[in-house]
Amino acid sequence: MVSAKQTDDWDPRGPGALADPTQAYDAMRGTCPVAHSEYLGWSVFRHSDVVAVVEDHASYSSRVSARHPAVPNGYDPPQHGRYRDLVDHYFHPDDVNTFEPLFSSIASELAAELPGDGSEIEFIDRFALTYALQTQRAWLGWPDYFAVALREWVTRQHSATLSGDRQALADVARDFDGVVSRVLAEWRARPSPADDITSRLLREQIDGVPLSDDEIVSILRNWTVGELATMSASVGILVDYLARHPQLQERLRHAPEDLPAAIDEILRIHAPLSSNRRVTTRAVELGGRYIDAGERITISWASANRDEAVFGDPDEYRPHENAPHNLLYGRGIHDCPGAPLARLELRVAIAELLAATRQIALSLDTPPVVAAYPASGFRTLPVHIFR
């Protein structure tokens, strides 16, 4: 076992990593696959090490914050299993798929509003984020004012994250919980019980005990703000990739049945969710490094999904060959329960965009701006749409 001094092996907030995170992860995987930094603790870059971490939840706990318990992602067995069973009920593909017509109409309306004369538009704000907001709101059955509050929240969260201002981040989180509490109060005041997702959640019990408000708010925080950034980043990444690969774009325009596999593969090449966290419960050895108990671990999905040892050339588009190893929706007991909903939302968005356009091209004048870690994808993505 090699004993590691906890000096910094890399700087995840350095100019190189911020400007081109994918390149930084590719380099780290080759030179220092388990790397320490003050900011992220131990970052794990290789596919095999990431799988080893997520499949050993006894040594790598998800209880990363005592102050902000997250339901169910911050729980370990046996508590995790009880909450996870509850959450899984909301994402059964048969139920999720009933939302397809609603999501299609949201996407087709937004696509129809984009100017189709080839003028430059900023795609993230105009489509990706708006679509993510509208579909989550529709899925939960929440009122319009929530989409407005959520958009404002996303902007404030972004600037607070960039500035690293902990107080601002705490204020943003508190304000968000206030909005959710307002929605819950509104729901509880309704005269007759309904069968929408929020009403069902309010009736849930674990071992005969109703969920507490803190638990409900935490679940809803995860289903809204937790996933909004990932969904919006995914739509931006997909459009950027298709604009850079016009032949694939054209092929998929005429073969929408190939979209599910194509979407998973593009998001393997360019991850919408950079990482998740764990904490060691005992001393471990990982990738030749000795790590004490109680240390922070950052599992880099973005790097693991580009590991040459598993995928060969990470940029080669091979949807069917790579699918079995793709970690886009995680692995192990915490793998993504929302995957059926995410896959539906993404397929519908891209299908409607391709159907409504003749060509989507990147701007030649204005380069995209990469989102700053921990966000992924693009902060802004200027494109031209031709009908």
| Contacts with ligand HEM, residue ranges (CB under 6 A) | 54, 72-73, 84, 87, 222-223, 227, 230-231, 234, 272-273, 276, 301, 328-330, 334-338, 341-342
Length of the chain in residues, anyone?
Answer: 387
Judged by beta carbon, residue 227 or residue 352, the one nearer ligand HEM is 227
C-alpha–C-alpha distance, residues 177 and 219, integer Å: 11
The closest of 335, 268, 327 to 57, measured between CA atoms, is: 335
Nearest residue to the partner ligand HEM, using Cβ: 338
C-alpha–C-alpha distance, residues 99 and 101, integer Å: 6
C-alpha–C-alpha distance, residues 287 and 36, integer Å: 12
Structure tokens of 14?
């350095």
The closest of 352, 384, 343 to 365, measured between CA atoms, is: 384
CB of 163 to ligand HEM, least distance (A): 26
CB of 236 to ligand HEM, least distance (A): 11
CB of 340 to ligand HEM, least distance (A): 9
Judged by beta carbon, residue 234 or residue 384, the one nearer ligand HEM is 234
Judged by beta carbon, residue 122 or residue 345, the one nearer ligand HEM is 345
DSSP-derived 3-state class of residue 176 = helix
Question: What is the number of other CB atoms lying within 10 angstroms of the CB of residue 27?
Answer: 16
Burial profile 138-160: b = 16 or more Cβ within 10 angstroms, e = fewer: ebbebeeebbebbbebbebbbeb
Is 120 within 8 Å of 365 (Cβ atoms)? yes
Judged by beta carbon, residue 310 or residue 384, the one nearer ligand HEM is 310
Judged by beta carbon, residue 37 or residue 62, the one nearer ligand HEM is 62
CB of 277 to ligand HEM, least distance (A): 7
Dihedral of CA 358/103/84/291: which sign?
positive
CB of 232 to ligand HEM, least distance (A): 10
CB of 180 to ligand HEM, least distance (A): 14
Backbone angles phi, psi at 324, to 5 degrees: -65, -20
Structure tokens of 145?
């004012």
CB of 170 to ligand HEM, least distance (A): 22
Dihedral of CA 265/269/274/275: which sign?
positive
Judged by beta carbon, residue 223 or residue 311, the one nearer ligand HEM is 223
Judged by beta carbon, residue 180 or residue 273, the one nearer ligand HEM is 273
